[in-house]
């Protein structure tokens, strides 16, 4: 290991490692960490929107968000919406719905959502 590396500490390897702390205290008690979410569960998760994708799904306008907390991340998809006021990168929100799958990733389609201040 080079001297510089020793001085600077071990470099973070994972590109997905959250550079900043994610959303803090969830709004309700039954919120679970995103890392513990499994397929085909009905869950309530809280986190920060890391990225927003405006993407048509076979002609249907779709808004696709990556929601992350300290334990992991999943997709949150709003079908039929081009944009939702208040949802943009950095938004914190609580989301509730059935966990499905989209492009090999866990995804919650058209969830109930609540924006956090």
Binding site for another protein (CB under 8 A): 15-16, 19-20, 48-56, 61, 82-83, 88-90, 104
Q: Are strands 105-109 and 72-79 parallel, antiparallel or unpaired?
A: parallel
| Residue (11 or 42) nearer to another protein, CB | 11
Q: State the nearest-atom distance from the C-beta of 51 to another protein, in Å.
A: 4
| Residue (88 or 114) nearer to another protein, CB | 88
């Amino acid at each position: 290991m080079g001297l510089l590396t020793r001085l600077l500490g071990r470099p973070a390897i994972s590109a997905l490692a959250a550079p900043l702390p994610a959303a803090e205290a969830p709004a309700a008690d039954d919120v679970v960490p995103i890392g513990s979410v499994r397929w085909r569960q009905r869950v309530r998760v809280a986190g920060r929107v890391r990225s927003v994708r405006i993407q048509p799904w076979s002609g249907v306008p779709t808004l696709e968000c990556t929601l992350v907390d300290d334990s992991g991340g999943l997709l949150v998809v709003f079908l039929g919406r081009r944009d939702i006021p208040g949802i943009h990168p950095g938004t914190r929100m609580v989301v509730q719905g059935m966990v499905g799958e989209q492009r090999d990733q866990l995804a919650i389609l058209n969830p109930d959502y609540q924006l956090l201040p």
